[in-house]
Structure 1
Amino acid sequence: MTVLTTRALGRATLARQFLLDRTGTPAVGVVAHLCGMQAQEPQEPFTGLWSRVRDFRPETLDGLLTGREVVRVPLMRRTIHLVTADDALAWRARHDAMLRQKVLSVYRAELAGVDPDELAAAAHAVMADGEPRTLAELVEAVSGRWPGPPRRALGELIVGGVLPTVQLPPRGLWGSRAGVRNATLSGWLGREVPPLPEDPTDPVGQTLVRRYLAAYGPAASADLRAWCGLAGLPAAVKAVRDELVVFRDERGRELLDLPDAPRPDPDTPAPVRFLPAFDNAILGYHDRSRIIDHDHRLLSVAGERVALVDGRVAATWTLRGSDLVVTPLRRLSRAERTAVKDEGAALAAFLTGGAGGAGGDAVTSPKPAGVILGS
C-alpha cells in the first residue's frame, strides 16, 4: 500500500484548498467546494477567500449573503459556518442530533427537565411571523414556559441546537460590527429543511464523506469526524468505500481518498499564504501534522491567524492600524522573508482598502498599508 509522506499530504491539502494556486472559481463555488468556511469571527472569511480566489472583492461575499446564496449557520462542530444555502438545507437535519447533544452536554444540569422537542416547537411558533430576533428576544418569548433554566443555556439550545436558524446580515458583511439577529433557516431561504432519509446507508453522510475528501483528502476517518463533529458516519464510509482509494501515512494510519483528486508532487513549490482565524485548512483534521507542527497545534484553536511558508504554518499575523504585523515561529530565509513581506503587503492593502486592495469604507486607513516582520 502506498505511503504518503507528511509533505505529500500537505501539498494535497494546499491544492484542494486553493492555496497552491488561487482559483478563478466564483466565490460561491469556493465556499461550496470547501464544504463551508468557519465563521464565528464574522470578518475572517474575507481573508480566507482573498487567499484563495483571484481578484476577490468584499462586495462579492456581501452580495452572496444579502442575496441569500450563502448563510451563516451553526453546523460542523456546532460552530458558525458560512455555507451555501443548498448545503445548509441539505446538511442541517444530519447535524441535528449532534447539535442538540453538544449543547445538552455543556448545560446538562441547567437544562434538566427541558424537553428539546417542546422547546423547538415553542421557538418555531415564536419565529413563525418571520421577524428576526436577537437571542435575548427569543429567550424572552419562551421564558414564561421555562422560567428556571439560565437564559444563556436556553438560548443556546434554541439557536444552536433544536431550531434551524440563520444569522442575518448585516452580521458578516464587510466591515460590519452588527450583532446577531436570528431567523429560521427555512423562512430566510423560502425552502423547508428536508427530513433525514430513513436509510441505514446514510445517503447524506455519504455526500459529506465525498465532499470532505474532495476538499481535505487524503484523510483518515478520525479526520472526517474531527471536521464535522459527527460520530455516526461508519455506515456512510462503508457505503462509499468501494469508490475510494486507500493509502497509509507515515504513522501507519489508513487514509481514504477520491481516485481522481489532486495529489501533487511533494516538491511542488508552495507560495506564502495568509490564513484567517479558525481556518478549516488546519482545523479540518484530527491529525494536523500535514500543515502545522505539533508544538504550534493549538494556535489555530486559540484563534491566531497564521501564515504558511513552504506549505506549513511558519508565522502568526495580526493587523495593527494599517500595518500587518507578522511574528515568525521559526527562522525565515532571506527569500522567505521577502515573499512574506510581498504577500503580507497585498493582504494589508486588501484589509485596509489601500492601493491594490479591494476597498471598503468601514476599514479604510489614512496611511499606506505596510508589513512589520519580526526576526
Structure 2
Amino acid sequence: MTKRTGTAAPVLTTRALNRAFLDRQLLLRRSGMSAADAVEHLVGLHAQLPKVPYYALRARLADFRPEELSDLLASRRTVRIALQRSTLHMVTARDCLALRPLLQDVQERRFRASFRKRAEGVDLARLAEVSFGLLEERPLTFSELGAALAELWPAHDRLALSMAARALLALVQVPPRGLWGQGGLARHTTVEQWLGEAPGEPSAEDLEAMLERCLAAFGPASAGDMQIWSGLTGLREVVDRMRPRLRTFRDEHGTELFDVPDGPLPDPETPAPVRFLPEFDNLFLSHRDRTRVIADAFRARTWKGNQAFSVFLADGFIRGVWRIEKERRGAAAVLVAEPFEPLSRAEHEGVEEEGAHLLDFAAPGAVHEVRVTGSGR
C-alpha cells in the first residue's frame, strides 16, 4: 500500500513497488504489444546470451512467436550492442543510435577498470581509427580483431586491444548470432556500416529523456537505482533538474524515489501470476535495492560466480530457479523448478502450469515433464 506521513512524500511499501514494477515490466499480465514495441518500451532486453531476449519476451507478451523477434534482428530493425552497464542488449535500431552516445562513458570506464594497464602506451585514437577501418571491411570476432591489431601493437595483449575498440567504437554484433534456432560466432561491425547512420551527439535533454524512460519501465526508482540500471555515475544532479516534472515518493527505508507523472501504481494486492524469466533478465539487475523483487536472503542463490541462473516469480517475487534438461537425445525435455522456500498449493500449481507452457515454447515436439523439487506442498 501507499502510506502518507503528513506533508512528506507518500511512502510506497515493498509490495506496492513490486506491483508497480511488474506492471511496467509487462509481468502482471501479458501484453498485446508487438515485439518491437516491447523492446522499445523496456529500453532494451539483456542479451548476453543469444536466447535470453526470446525468453524475456515470451514471459511478457501474449502469443509471442520467437520468429517475430528473430526477423527484427535479421532485418536490422533491432541490434545487439553493448549499452547499459556495458553489457550486451538487444534494442531497436532507433534506440541504438539514441542510447549508445549517452552510455559512452560506461563503456570507457569498464575498459579502464579491466584492461587499461594491459594497453598502456597504445595510441587509442589511432587504434579506434584502424579498428573502424577493419570492421567496415567485414565483421570480425574480437579474437580476429585483436590479432589484426596486434600486427601494429605486437607487444600488447590482444584481448585488451579488441576491448579498447569495443569501448571506443559503437559496435553491433551481427547475425546469425542471436537468431532463433541458429548459431554463429560473435562477430562485430560498426553501427555506421550496419545501420547506414552514425550515432548522434549526446545532449542533456537526451539524457533526461532516457532516464524518464527508465522510470516508465523500472520505476518508481531512486537516483541510485537509475545509476545501477544505466551504469552511469553522477546522476543526482540530473535527476534534481528533472524534479519539477516528476512525482516523488519514499520507500519504507526512507529512500527518495522518482517517477513519471503517468506511471501506473496498481493495488498492492493485485494478483501476480507465475512467470519464468531467463538468466540476466533486467528485472533483477536494475536496482540498487532489489528487495522489490527478491528477498535479500535469496539473492546469493540466483548466482554462482559470474553465472546467473534462470528464475521464476510467484506472487510477484523471485522464489526459485529453473532449468530445462534434455533427455534421450532431445526426445524428452524436463523443466526442473527449485523453489527457495515452500510454495503454497496455488503457487505450486501455477509453476506446473506455466512450466508446461514454457516447455511447449522451448522444446516443441518433445515429451514434456515439469518437476518441482522440495516445494513443501
Shorter-chain TM range is over 0.9
1:108-123, aligned counterparts within 5 Å?
108-123=116-131
Normalised by the length of structure 1, the TM-score is 0.92
Q: Could you tell me which residue of structure 1 aligns to residue 323 of structure 2?
A: 318
2:183 is aligned with 1:181: no
* Structure 2 counterpart of 1:75, one-letter code: L
Q: Could you tell me which residue of structure 2 aligns to residue 295 of structure 1?
A: 297
- Matched-pair contact (CA < 8 Å) for 2:135–2:188: no
Task: Report the Cα distance in structure 1 between the residues aligned to 2:300 and 2:110, rounded to whole angstroms.
Answer: 21
Aligned residues: 357
Task: Report the Cα distance in structure 2 between the residues aligned to 1:294 and 1:54, rounded to whole angstroms.
Answer: 31
Q: Could you tell me which residue of structure 1 aligns to residue 251 of structure 2?
A: 249
The structure 1 residue matched to 2:91, chosen from 59, 80, 83, is 83
- Matched-pair contact (CA < 8 Å) for 2:16–2:267: yes
- Matched-pair contact (CA < 8 Å) for 2:319–2:339: yes
- Matched-pair contact (CA < 8 Å) for 2:115–2:163: no
Q: Could you tell me which residue of structure 2 aligns to residue 196 of structure 1?
A: 202
Normalised by the length of structure 2, the TM-score is 0.92
Task: Report the Cα distance in structure 2 between the residues aligned to 1:298 and 1:174, rounded to whole angstroms.
Answer: 31
2:218 is aligned with 1:224: no
The structure 2 residue matched to 1:5, chosen from 1, 10, 13, is 13
- Matched-pair contact (CA < 8 Å) for 1:47–1:276: yes
Select between 69-78 and 97-106 the one with higher mean Cα deviation: 97-106
What is the Cα deviation at residue 44 of structure 1? 1.1
Task: Report the Cα distance in structure 2 between the residues aligned to 1:7 and 1:37, rounded to whole angstroms.
Answer: 24
Task: Report the Cα distance in structure 2 between the residues aligned to 1:140 and 1:23, rounded to whole angstroms.
Answer: 46
CA RMSD of the aligned region, Å?
1.3
Question: Aligned in 2, Cα 1:114/1:97: closer, same or farther, shift over 3 Å?
Answer: farther
* Structure 1 counterpart of 2:47, one-letter code: A
Cα distance per residue 1:195-246 (max 9 Å; x no partner): 224xxxx122101110000000000010000011011433431332111010
2:139 is aligned with 1:132: yes
Q: Could you tell me which residue of structure 2 aligns to residue 358 of structure 1?
A: none
* Structure 2 counterpart of 1:174, one-letter code: W
Cα distance per residue 1:291-343 (max 9 Å; x no partner): 00102224445411000000001110001011111001110111111111000
* Structure 2 counterpart of 1:285, one-letter code: H
Task: Report the Cα distance in structure 2 between the residues aligned to 1:236 and 1:310, rounded to whole angstroms.
Answer: 35
Q: Could you tell me which residue of structure 1 aligns to residue 313 of structure 2?
A: 308
Q: Could you tell me which residue of structure 1 aligns to residue 108 of structure 2?
A: 100
Secondary structure, counterpart of 1:176 in structure 2: coil
Task: Report the Cα distance in structure 1 between the residues aligned to 2:368 and 2:162, rounded to whole angstroms.
Answer: 41
- Matched-pair contact (CA < 8 Å) for 2:302–2:321: no
Task: Report the Cα distance in structure 1 between the residues aligned to 2:51 and 2:228, rounded to whole angstroms.
Answer: 24
Cα distance per residue 1:84-113 (max 9 Å; x no partner): 111111111121122012112112321111
The structure 2 residue matched to 1:261, chosen from 260, 263, 270, is 263
Q: Could you tell me which residue of structure 2 aligns to residue 17 of structure 1?
A: 25
- Matched-pair contact (CA < 8 Å) for 1:326–1:374: yes
What is the Cα deviation at residue 176 of structure 1? 2.4
Secondary structure, counterpart of 2:311 in structure 1: strand
What is the Cα deviation at residue 140 of structure 1? 2.3
* Structure 2 counterpart of 1:225, one-letter code: Q
Percentage identity across aligned positions? 42
Q: Which runs of 4+ in 1 moved over 6 A?
A: none
Secondary structure, counterpart of 1:147 in structure 2: coil
**Structure 2 residues without counterparts, runs of 5 or longer:** 1-8, 327-332
1:44-63, aligned counterparts within 5 Å?
44-63=52-71
Task: Report the Cα distance in structure 1 between the residues aligned to 2:338 and 2:77, rounded to whole angstroms.
Answer: 36
Select between 105-114 and 36-45 the one with higher mean Cα deviation: 105-114
